[in-house]
Structure 1
C-alpha cells in the first residue's frame, strides 16, 4: 500500500532542533519539544500559542495526558514538568 501525503501546515518558531512532537487526544493542539529549551504549542491550523513553556535545559520529550488537560515535558537535566492547559 502506498500513501501519498501533502504538507498541511509548517509550524515554525523554534530556534534549535525539534526533539519530540505530540498531538493532543482530540487532535486540536500540537506540542513540540526543542533544544532551544522550550515546549511550543500550536492549534491544528498552525497558529502558535502566545507564550512557549520554558525549561532551563534542552527539552527532549513532550506528551499529552489521555484527557488532554495536562502536558508533561522532560529535559536533559532530568527535570520533568507538568503543565495544565486552560
Structure 2
C-alpha cells in the first residue's frame, strides 16, 4: 500500500521539529515523491548527514512502503 504525502511529512517533522517540509507526488501514484526539507538544525552538517537524518526519520520505510523519494535538503537562507 502506498504511503500518503502527509504521513511522510509528519514523520519528518516529528524527527526534525524545525523542518519546513514540502512533499510533491511526482507520478500521481502515491509511490514516487519528492521531498524538500529545510531546517536550521542542518546548519554545519554535510548534505549527506542532512539526508541521513531525513531517511532516519522515515524509519526504514524506504524501499518498502515508500518506493521512491527524490530528496533535497537545505538550511534556511538568511
Structure with larger Rg: 1
Instruction: Answer 1 or 2: which has greater strand percent.
Output: 1
State the TM-score bracket (shorter-chain normalisation): 0.3 to 0.5
Please give the TM-score of this superposition, normalised by the length of structure 2: 0.33
Please give the TM-score of this superposition, normalised by the length of structure 1: 0.31
Higher RCO, 1 or 2 (CA under 8 Å, sep at least 6)?
2
